[in-house]
Structure 1
Amino acid sequence: MADITAAMVKDLRDRTGAGMMDCKKALNETAGDTEAAVDWLRTKGLAAAAKKAGRTAAEGLIGVTVAGTRGAVVEVNSETDFVAKNETFQGFVRTVTQMAAELGSDVATLLAASYPESDGSVHDKLTHNIATIGEHQNLRRAAIVEVTQGVVTSYVHNAAASGLGKIGVLVGLESSAPAEILESLGKQLAMHVAAANPLALDETGLDPVLVERERAIAREKAAVSGKPAEIIEKMIEGGVRKFAQENALMTQVLVTDGKSKVADVVAAAAKAAGVPIAVKAFVRIQLGEGIEKEEKDFAAEVAAAAGL
């Protein structure tokens, strides 16, 4: 048997996009002949991943899990919504989400970690899935919410299966209040976050770049009003304040009742519990947000396929 080195495995993996263990097996099967190993992988359908890597993956699933006072949310993308119904894909997303709850939100760390009940890494498993399912897939991002005392609650919108869907939300409540009170409040807030999409926990957490952009918009609107300069400045500050209040969670109006501010709802729950309740953190991840999707000309595709 040929001596298969790590460098040979890496070279084959770089050339084909196949998983590490698949590359090692291919080299063993072909006595270390790299070109023959490439052909071996192709015949097994395991070299297809590299060709799919350039395709846009904006569909897929969001995975959410909570374990005690720590929760994780993960986005894994695919090319089409059809893959989200695939049990293999769902199992991968669920497993990686559980791993993120333990290992944290760094994608590189997750990809390098050993995939449960396999001889390879998460990256290897993902590469294998690409080859077997037939679509490009991508572990895009992960996030963690954790509290010292209290609860982390979750909500999944447009659920495809338990803990899997199109929007994943985690809300962390820091408190010594009874768990049932915190769970009820947390669920209410998580559903609100899914619907209202706040940009920060409070006004101080808003991105200064966004605030300044709103200030510039308010200034342009005020400039054409013909009002005195001091009035214009008040109009500008009023516009910025309105933007901040509408986009910070604690000053938003609760979606479920349409009148109470989130801060007031939390305060009322704390008063009823007899102990302080603080919203420590939240995270909301929506599938495919920020990914520029390809605009395909269906008629042109048909014509190309027909050789017209």
Structure 2
Amino acid sequence: MFDDLIQLDSISRRFGSVTALSDVSLSVRRGEFLALLGPSGCGKTTLLRLIAGFLDPSSGTLMIGGIRMNNVPPDKRPVNTVFQNYALFPHMDVSENIAFGLKRKRLGKAEIRSRVIEALEMVGMESFAERWPAELSGGQQQRVALARALVNRPEVLLLDEPLAALDLKLRKRMQIELKRLHERLGMTFILVTHDQEEALTIADRIVVMDHGKIAQIGTGKDLYDAPTDRFVADFIGEANLLALASTEGRAESAGLILPDALQVDTRSADAIMVRPETIRLIQGNAPEGWITGQGTLARKIFRGVAWRLFVNMPSGEELLIDTQQDEVSSFEAGSHINFGWPAGRCKVLGK
């Protein structure tokens, strides 16, 4: 069972007149893989650097393992950081890079050798001990950087976009390897990323950040299926955000027919969010309880596993539909499209 290892209470960080973090409170569970996700400038890297000890909060309290960490230097914290550029020493071979921190702690030669071998085995780099960093691929360098952090046996491993410099195929493979390594070690991992697919693939929970604040925290499924606002809905995956209005007290959306069972209070809600893959093309009558609509096909793109349809709605909004339905192949631009989805498969968003 998880218990809280890290607690941030009303943390803020200012750089002059700029507020990078504003009143952030967060608990990180022992042994979980947590992702800090958001666009550039949202505060996620600042938050990671505060946990690492490279920055101090302007206000608020940071606790790790029940101990206050405000103003405690990085080398006195039970954490290690893997950086985006790996920061390997070019004049040291792989073993020497990994052993560097242990030598600074003045551990015995036998223990250093044993722990370096153990760390190399963790990341599958046993046969590269005597290689130089310049002789390694990007993925191999990333593994050495991981081993150098893990050899110190920290309670928390901080990952500052460590896969950003890798090509797409290697990045996806390393995502799975990171997840497997976390499961094997049972250590607390905190990953900073701007890649929502990466966060969904790896993390147990995701913290979505926007303008120095936490927008929403949850599992990938929670955030994908039930975003709390437009920002999260749009940032996690792809979403159709369709405007709602009210006529004589009843919710309406131009081009959509809403079932009576869909209860919407338009005083607090103004949009319906539906994912492209949820929408189905309809021929004949729609099942009971579905939201249905009509539009005109603007264009279609074959994406390998599905067709992407761009449908113009009567409201002027564009609807994205991802479908594998066979009839799509016969549709041309200008075709009339009937579509729908179960009312329970969309999310009503507030103003």
* TM-score in terms of structure 1 length: 0.24
Judging by fraction of residues, say which structure has more strand.
Answer: 2
